[in-house]
Amino acid sequence: MSSEKYSSVSVLEGLSTTVNIKDSSPDVQLIPSPRPDLLRSVNHGDFQDDLTKDGFAVIKGVIPPERVTQYREKAKDWLLSFGTELDFEDNKTWIEKKLASSE
């Protein structure tokens, strides 16, 4: 039996057509990263920590307060446009069936 390695790769997802790719390279040896510090957990002491931990960060003072109010009101108007009984003053109405649904 040949020691050649082959990989079978689907040409288009959902089709059975495949392409066989010959791998004639010798075994790959891993090389240590020249910058291992890039993957290390670092405490920046700023928004980057939240971004790393939560996937988002709130950066205060970026949007002027007047525009924040305007965006908040537009978001409320949009939520109310779905005709649900959502009441922003009553957190008991802040439930899934009172919010818009894509179903």
pLDDT digits (tens, 9 = 90+) for 17-44: 444 555 566 677 778 878 777 767 778 8
Q: Rounded mean pLDDT of the chain?
A: 77
DSSP 28: P
- Where in the sequence is the domain holding 80, given as residue range(s)? 60-85
- pLDDT above 70 covers a percentage of the chain that reads 69
Residue 96 lies in a domain: no
Q: Count the Cβ atoms, other than its own, within 10 Å of residue 84.
A: 15
Residue 71 lies in a domain: yes
With beta carbons less than 8 A apart as the criterion, state whether 21 and 7 touch: yes
Residue 19 lies in a domain: no
Tokens 């020691």, located at residue: 3
